[in-house]
Amino acid sequence: MDIQYVAPRTLDEAVRAFAAAAGAGRILAGGTDLLVQMRNGVVAPGTIVDIKKIGELTSIEETKDGGFRVGAAVSGAVLREHAKLSKVWPGVVEATNLIGSTQVQGRATPGGNLCNGSPAGDSVPAMVAAGAIVTIQGPNGRREMPVEKVPKGPGRLNLEPGEIVVSFTLPPRGKGSSDAYLRMIPRTEMDIAVVGCGVSLTMDGGTCTAARVGLGAVAPTVLLVEEAAKALIGSKLDDAALAKAAAACSAACRPIDDKRGTIAYRTKVAGVLLKRTTLIAAERAGGK
Amino acid sequence: MTTNTPDTANDNKWIGKRTIRPDGADKVTGRAAYAADTTMPGMIWGKVLRSPHPHARIKSIDTSKAEVHPGVKAVMTAKDIVNFPIEKSVMLGIQDMRWMCRNVMAREKALFAGHPVAAVAATTEKIAAEACKLIVVEYEVLPFVIDVEEAMKPEAPILHDFIRFKDKPSNIAGTLEHRLGDIGEGFAKADIVIERSFRTQPVHQGYIEPHACLVSVSDGKATVWSSSQGQFMVRAMCAYLTGLPQNDIRAIPAEIGGGFGGKTIIYLEPLALILAKKSGRPVKMTMSRAEVFHASGPTSGSYSTVKLGATRDGKLVAAQGTFCLQAGALPGSPIRGAAGCAFAPYDIPNVHSFGYDVVSNRSKVAAYRAPGAPIGAYAVECVMDEVAEALKMDPLDFRLKNAAKQGTKAAHGPVYPRIGFVETIEEARKHAHYTTPLPKAGKGMLYGRGVASGFWFNAGGESSAQVNINEDGTVVVITGHPDIGGSRAATANITAELLGIDYKKVSVLIGDTSVIGFSNLTGGSRVTYASAMVVTQSTERVITQLRERAAKIWKIDPDAVVWENGEARPAGDNAGKFEPLSLGQIAAQASATGGPIGAGQQLNTMGAEGGFATHVCDVEVDPDLGIVRVLRYTAVQDVGRAIHPSYVEGQIQGGAAQGIGWALSEEYIFNKDGKLDNPSFLDYRMPVSSDLPMLDSVILEIPNPKHPQGVRGVGEVPLVPPLAAISNAVYDALGRRFYSLPMSPPKVLATMDMAAE
Ligand SMILES: Cc1cc2nc3c(=O)[nH]c(=O)nc-3n(C[C@H](O)[C@H](O)[C@H](O)COP(=O)(O)OP(=O)(O)OC[C@H]3O[C@@H](n4cnc5c(N)ncnc54)[C@H](O)[C@@H]3O)c2cc1C
């Protein structure tokens, strides 16, 4: 079967082409998931819509209020080169930069990572912790959604037919705020997260005043763990608070036993990573 | 970093030099032609249909729909392959053709998920794949068993009704036993006796190049391009399996992208040959990585029990080992390596070592670097560590006290000549690695150090070489072994040394089966050893000819001519006064003095004495995540003579790296349906380079007295000690012993949690 490839310059054209292809269409960002899946015979698209030629999807802008709008098709390598973004959202950038290798970084995008729908995608827990808002455009126009609402299950998304993820909006940061991401992989690189944990927080005089926790690879979708955040907020990130937040993470896990990790292992490690990630974020935010 | 680089300040100009590898530029620029890189006009593609079931009787195969599918040129099944009846064994090296014919294509039964049942050749890969789906195979699905302990149980599903053990149907296909002294008496004398059981998982060789071949048949004669560890093995197996005589098959070795033993047998070549014969078109076949994992041979999973007895003064008095190895679908697991090498490093008066070869429903085992030996050494060297601890002895001192030496009688048979095992322990003991304290536990991390030793038989066997002097005085050497570990560079070093000429003037080529005499596999750590012998003898004969030619030019007696520094010279003043003649000058006059100059030698080489190594390993353990990382690794090995030290180091480092993977992260994981669940490098976790520290190799040169340059085999010993060295280091860090591999994070954490409870 022949594959049609289109690389429109505008989002409207892309939406049109994607909608026209109906079920047989696939968005191509970096292709580091899509091409692998095509080669393995998992997907066989009739039309490929390449979104890397569209300005809005491939740029990073500061928003008026001091936040950032990151195009869905920006590669990890470009993200890393953005000095200010790396300073303000180090956790989001480090999570995205963990994807694959140097070669993969030249292609892989946060939009692809999210839309691939894997619960183990590395950038997603960091985006969830960051409170990123996703902008989506489809045949019925534009809408926004918190990032944690996008995944529906492994490989499934809460997107309507023809909808494309346009960008991630990261909120402005006050003083004493930072974020971090850690993952557990058996090797040092080229592996899939067995557990991933993103923490974003604000510290004020040694007390944690705001926090969000994202957990990956422990449930059918990446989780926003509000109980863990609650345990951190108002505390001085002392051992008791960290233990409570860690327990909340472990309690939130609904993992599977598979070749990559056991239920017991993932559940325990979720708590361990929460503690470690929180301390890194707090250190970056200016210390406990 | 390499400490103790062998002393090259001796008289040698080329032997021991790190000459530039002849295959390097082609490999880094992508020009080297591997098996899948050859194409031909009119070429079509072959694909294999594989059994989805781990164990099933094949009731019928209907290929009619596939045969009429547009684009399909040929279809084959086991019916097209020569059958070797069960009643009579036909051996080719260590491979039994009864099993090979059933391995390349399922005959009566499909014996593992991935077992070939039919193959198709079509004009495109896609059509061939579609046609495979049109083949209707009627299976009677049978219960299966994969794990070696399960397969040995009396109630286990039986794979082959022709295998009987103690008069009952069984999966135990064979046993092997070594005995020395009387272990009953030995253990009675022991003050300390420790017995433990160990488990390892099947691990794959992990060569980067998947199996591939191109076969063309014309006028009844076949040409096979493929990458293997022996073009003569390819030819012989194709001859057996297709019925063609060997002179009608020409096997051309491609550049090989790794083998580690896994390419000492074939999978695709006979199928492609039959498809090419049927279709009249050249047929290319390649395996995907998933096919490599599902259907080529990893080494055995194992279950071993080892018992050691020692007196209070630290002397081993008795040793007993039982090594049960998973052969996969057909008999032939490496019990000889496990049971034979396990106790070989030590001088123990009473030994009983027993191996079981056990069939089960996974792909047939293939050789993997020192086949079986790492499994045996893992068990023995871990118990050695426990005994040393019980004796309150340093583990290296304990090994030293019991080390085999010249004159020691080994349980597997030989009385050792001069060997260098003691030196490897002494060197490890004084090495800066061993004398530097470990980092102190801190930041949640724990540290540990472990040591282990190992032995491998090494091998000699058949090799052929031809050394030709070109008209311009340069030299071409042809050998019959695929070069996997640097044999071309080593051969060039030796030839240049003996002839006294520049290394760059020597080209070494690997001949195909029609241009060079029979040469056995590149395996058993034998190629540099054996090539050096035939090349040395060929070159010495060439030198005799060169002296004769000079004598003829000078009109003196050949005995009055010596060959020195690449020149013929009169032996002394009595011989007469003549200007020396260079190789170039003699070559230029070759026609006038008797014709082309060159010589060959063919030998069944003997005297490949065993190799020994001692490894030291430091690990860092993250006890909350269960992650073990190797921080520092030092491998000390007696190599006899390092003809090309860089390649020797590469072998040592590669073996240690594979051992680290085996110990920590690699394993075959089967799902509940008996199918391999991790057939990719993503989930079959070989270490990546960032997982490894610099692997330090210490080369010791205690020359093998039976070899012209003193060479011992190098390539396999390095994979023998790592499993235990790492296990012992993890124990040192955690205070808990692990008795099964891999020590993967979930396993480490589960064991830690159990300890905490
Ligand atoms: C060698 C290797 C290593 C890897 N390592 C990691 C790792 O460490 N961590 C990790 O998380 N992942 C890893 N991956 C997976 C992959 O690289 C990431 O998921 C990456 O972020 C995907 O981005 P992409 O732009 O390449 O996606 P694509 O392959 O282009 O797209 C992925 C999916 O999302 C859809 N899609 C893409 N963009 C959009 C959009 N804007 N709107 C709607 N749908 C869209 C595509 O149609 C496709 O279904 C690895 C992959 C490889 C090949």
- Atom index in ligand 1 nearest the CA of residue A28 equals 30
For atom 21 of ligand 1, which residue has the closest CA? A113
Domain assignment of residue B556, yes or no: yes
A contact test, residue of B130, B291, B625 with most A CBs within 10 A: B625
Does B627 contact chain A (CB < 8 Å)?
yes
Cα of B53 vs centre of ligand 1, distance in Å, is 33
| Whether A145 contacts A57, CB under 8 Å | no
> pLDDT at residue B93 above 70?
yes
For atom 2 of ligand 1, which residue has the closest CA? A100
Cα A184 from Cα A216, distance rounded (Å)? 10
At B11 the pLDDT is 80
For atom 27 of ligand 1, which residue has the closest CA? A112
Closest CB from B683, B691, B745 relative to A265: B745
Contact A216 CB / ligand 1 (< 6 Å)? no
CATH 3.30.390.50 is the classification of domain A177-284: yes
Domain segments of chain A as ranges? 4-118+133-170, 177-284
**Over the stretch A212-260, which tens digit does the pLDDT of each residue have?**
999 999 999 999 999 999 999 999 999 999 999 999 999 999 998 888 8
At A22 the pLDDT is 86
| Whether B233 contacts B264, CB under 8 Å | yes
At B597 the pLDDT is 98
B290, closest residue in chain A (CA to CA):
A40
Q: What is the total residue count of chain B?
A: 757
Q: Which domain holds residue B526?
A: 461-605
**Over the stretch B24-36, which tens digit does the pLDDT of each residue have?**
999 999 999 999 9
Cα B742 from Cα B200, distance rounded (Å)? 7
Contact A167 CB / ligand 1 (< 6 Å)? no
Does A155 contact chain B (CB < 8 Å)?
no
Domain assignment of residue B544, yes or no: yes
The DSSP secondary structure of chain A, one letter per residue, reads ---EEE--SSHHHHHHHHHHTGGGEEEESS-TTHHHHHHTTS---SEEEE-TT-GGGS-EEE-TTS-EEEETT--HHHHHH-HHHHHH-HHHHHHHHTSS-HHHHTT--HHHHHHTT-TT-SHHHHHHHHT-EEEEEETTEEEEEEGGGSEEETTEES--TT-EEEEEEEPP--TTEEEEEEEE-SSSSSS--SEEEEEEEEEETTEEEEEEEEEESSSSS-EE-HHHHHHHTTS---HHHHHHHHHHHHHH-----BTTB-HHHHHHHHHHHHHHHHHHHHHHTT--
HEC-encoded secondary structure of B455-512: EECCCCEEEEEEEEECCCCCEEEEECCCCCCCHHHHHHHHHHHHHCCCHHHEEEEECC
Report CB contact under 8 Å: A265, B624: no
Contact partners, residue B30, CB within 8 Å, separation at least 6: none
Cα B660 from Cα B678, distance rounded (Å)? 19
Task: Look up residue B50 and give its amino acid.
Answer: R
Does B678 contact chain A (CB < 8 Å)?
yes
Cα of A108 vs centre of ligand 1, distance in Å, is 6
Does B626 contact chain A (CB < 8 Å)?
yes
The DSSP secondary structure of B705-747, one letter per residue, reads TTSSS-----SSGGGSSHHHHHHHHHHHHHS----BS---HHH
Cα B757 from Cα B607, distance rounded (Å)? 55
How are beta strands A68-71 and A60-62 bridged, if at all? antiparallel
Cα of B682 vs centre of ligand 1, distance in Å, is 15
**DSSP assigned state of B309:** E
Cα B713 from Cα B609, distance rounded (Å)? 8
Third-level CATH fold of A4-118+133-170: 3.30.465
Place of tokens 């009109």: B555
Cα B269 from Cα B282, distance rounded (Å)? 12
Structure tokens at B101: 């014919």
Q: Which of residues 206-265 of A touch B (CB under 8 A)?
A: 259-262, 264-265
Does A39 contact chain B (CB < 8 Å)?
no
> pLDDT at residue A272 above 90?
yes
- The distance of B670 to chain A (nearest Cα, Å) reads 9
> Residue B465's beta-bridge partner residues?
B479, B601
For atom 36 of ligand 1, which residue has the closest CA? A112
Report CB contact under 8 Å: A187, B677: no
Domain with B544 in it: what CATH number? 3.30.365.10
Ligand 1 pocket test target in A115, A143, A164 with most atoms within 8 Å of CB = A115
Does A22 contact chain B (CB < 8 Å)?
no
Contact A27 CB / ligand 1 (< 6 Å)? yes
Cα of A121 vs centre of ligand 1, distance in Å, is 8
> pLDDT at residue B441 above 60?
yes
* Mean pLDDT, chain A, integer: 96
Cα of A195 vs centre of ligand 1, distance in Å, is 18
Domain assignment of residue B445, yes or no: no
- Atom index in ligand 1 nearest the CA of residue A115 equals 34
| Whether A34 contacts A155, CB under 8 Å | no
> pLDDT at residue B4 above 80?
no
Q: Interior CA angle at B80 toward B75 and B86, to 5°?
A: 140
Report CB contact under 8 Å: B688, A192: no
Structure tokens at B397: 């001192």
At A288 the pLDDT is 61
User: How far is C-alpha A50 from the geometric centre of its chain's CA atoms?
Assistant: 21
Contact A107 CB / ligand 1 (< 6 Å)? yes
Cα B107 from Cα A237, distance rounded (Å)? 66
Structure tokens at B385: 């560590």
Q: How many CA atoms lie within 13 Å of B679's alpha carbon, on the beta-carbon side?
A: 23
Contact partners, residue B430, CB within 8 Å, separation at least 6: none
With 0-12 / 13-18 / 19 or more C-beta atoms within 10 angstroms meaning exposed / middle / buried, residue B740 is middle
Cα B651 from Cα B646, distance rounded (Å)? 9
At B267 the pLDDT is 98
Task: Look up residue B432 and give its amino acid.
Answer: A
Task: Look up residue B456 and give its amino acid.
Answer: W
How are beta strands B221-226 and B249-253 bridged, if at all? parallel
> pLDDT at residue B3 above 50?
no
Report CB contact under 8 Å: B690, A189: yes
Does A184 contact chain B (CB < 8 Å)?
yes
Helix, strand, or coil (residue B240): helix
Residue numbers in A near B665 (CB within 8 A): 186-187
Please tell me the total count of domains within chain B: 1
**Over the stretch B504-521, which tens digit does the pLDDT of each residue have?**
999 999 999 999 999 999
Report CB contact under 8 Å: A187, B682: no
pLDDT band at A1 (very low <50, low <70, confident <90, very high): low
* Mean pLDDT, chain B, integer: 96
Give the pLDDT mean for A149-164.
96
Report CB contact under 8 Å: B627, A186: yes
| Whether B476 contacts B509, CB under 8 Å | yes
How many other CB atoms are found less than 10 A from the CB of residue A174?
A: 11
Contact A15 CB / ligand 1 (< 6 Å)? no
**Over the stretch B380-422, which tens digit does the pLDDT of each residue have?**
999 999 999 999 999 999 999 999 999 999 999 999 999 999 9
pLDDT band at B2 (very low <50, low <70, confident <90, very high): very low
Closest CB from A189, A265, A269 relative to B688: A189
Report CB contact under 8 Å: A265, B688: no
For atom 46 of ligand 1, which residue has the closest CA? A27
Is the interface score ipTM higher than 0.90? Answer: yes
